[in-house]
Structure 1
Amino acid sequence: MNLEEVKKLFSSLEKDNSALSLRNETLFKLLATTGMRRQELVDLTWQQIDLYNETVLIFGKGKKERLLPLYSMMLPLLKKYKASLEEHQTHPLEPVFRNGNGNAFNPRGVNMIFKDVLKNAGLPPQRFTLHHLRHTFAS
């Protein structure tokens, strides 16, 4: 994705006021600003996010650990998102992101939501995948 497409995606996420808009904004901005893999995001728990030190600990392929910095725009967004959840959902071992039914995400569910978010942003869903966000971060 080029910079204009990312801006369009972020702007659409920020303007959305649906029931799950804060979750979606936090989820996709976190992906775009950290370069996490989809599975790493699905497996992410609250204990891996350190808002004080502004880092996120990722357990990647082959059980490799990576400590990633959190982009400054993510700190207030993560705090707001966490505050919007019920107390039991923010337990350190609980998943950060859940589906609309309150269950842990599966990777295909994240893909489906991403396609909907792209449509809402006026971007072609057939052209982009979640992996494009990872490549966008890398470049």
Structure 2
Amino acid sequence: MPHPFQSERTAFLIYLRTEKQLSPRTEDAYARDLDKFLAYCASRELSDLNTITVHHVRESLASLHRKGLTGKSLRRWLSSLRAFFRFGIRRGWLKTNPADGLQAPRVEKKLPKVLDVDQAGQFVEVKDDSPLGKRDHALLELIYSSGLRLAETIGLNVSDLDLSDGAVIVTGKGNKTRQLPVGKPARAALKAWLQERQHIAPADEPALFISQRGKRLSHRAVQLRLQQLSLKQGMDEPVHPHMLRHSFASHMLESSSDLRLVQELLGHANISTTQVYTHLDFQHLAKVYDQAHPRAQKKK
């Protein structure tokens, strides 16, 4: 059975792409969430947006919950629906938002895993003089030095680097750009990689990090490479790109105690997103306290 509201769905996705300027990955996430609800509408033979009520949204939410969707996925699904209905109100398709007032199941906040300073140093210091070894060294040093997301890292072009000033221009979520400092070890690793890169990259390839074939690295290629490097570098568990970003944020906050600075460096739109690292910082302080304070140590 074909889904209803296909023209409205198409108009909404065009709006997300052109006016909101969301990335293709984010747009796809909205589309998948919306399609789940449109499939429900088809099963209930709902063909008029104004006939959709809070009861329908709640029933669809409960059905997805029973199918095993996590609280995090359900919250995103509900957020996508609210955005679609708000768009419908502006277009005159709807009078009220039937998703308003509904809440998805609570999500237990899990603190991101981080490496301590010594572990981070051990991981990023790749001692491999092969061309791809120098690429891997530069890649890890830059992610940890500047706290980059994976998509930001593989999206970098050579022209985004200014090693003389020790800076990199990064395009983050919503196509927002920010300029970030690049530390001395990362600059040295990048210079070594750029010397090798010129022998691999085609003249028309702008990407900073490329494969052995001279093409821009993919998300999956970097994830797999970090899994291999985790073993090679003697890490206790696999290190993924976001763990390096989390470690950067935690170490910066631990040293500076400046939450606004860390927010700006990470490119977070809301400081509430950055505040998770204050919990990590407190955990570190609590551990030091337990080890150092004479009244905190349990007597045997």
Q: Do they fold alike, i.e. is TM over 0.5?
A: yes
In proportion to residue count, which structure has more strand?
Answer: 1
Corresponding residue of 2:243: 132
- How far off its partner does 1:124 sit? 3.4
For 1:69 and 1:3, the matched residues in 2 are separated by 19
Distance 1:74 1:98, change over 3 A: same
Are 2:140 and 1:28 equivalent residues in the alignment? yes
Q: Mapping of 1:1-139 within 5 angstroms?
A: 1-11=115-125, 13=126, 15-86=127-198, 89=201, 94-126=206-238, 128-139=239-250
Task: List runs of 5+ in structure 1 lacking aligned partners.
Answer: none
Runs (4+) of structure 1 exceeding 4 A deviation are 90-93
CA contact (8 A) 1:47 1:92 kept: no
- Which one has the largest radius of gyration? 2
- How far off its partner does 1:30 sit? 0.4
- AA at the equivalent of 2:190: L
- How far off its partner does 1:85 sit? 2.2
- The superposition leaves residues 66-117 of structure 1 with CA deviations (integer Å, 9 ceiling, x where unpaired) of 1001112222222221112226838696100012222111101100000001
Distance 1:92 1:76, change over 3 A: farther
- AA at the equivalent of 1:74: A
- AA at the equivalent of 1:69: P
Distance 1:24 1:71, change over 3 A: same
CA contact (8 A) 2:146 2:248 kept: yes
Task: List runs of 5+ in structure 2 lacking aligned partners.
Answer: 1-114, 251-300
SS in 2 for 1:20: helix
- AA at the equivalent of 1:102: G
- AA at the equivalent of 2:247: T
CA contact (8 A) 2:144 2:245 kept: yes
Tell me the number of residue pairs that the alignment of Structure 1 and Structure 2 aligns: 136
CA contact (8 A) 1:46 1:91 kept: no
- AA at the equivalent of 1:132: M
Query: TM-score w.r.t. structure 2 length?
Result: 0.42
Higher relative CO (Cα under 8 Å, sequence separation at least 6) belongs to 1
Distance 1:59 1:8, change over 3 A: same
How many percent of aligned residue pairs carry the same amino acid?
A: 26
- How far off its partner does 1:33 sit? 0.7
- The superposition leaves residues 18-47 of structure 1 with CA deviations (integer Å, 9 ceiling, x where unpaired) of 441100000011001100100011110011
Distance 1:90 1:97, change over 3 A: same
CA contact (8 A) 2:154 2:218 kept: yes
CA contact (8 A) 1:98 1:104 kept: yes
CA contact (8 A) 2:205 2:215 kept: no
CA contact (8 A) 1:9 1:121 kept: yes
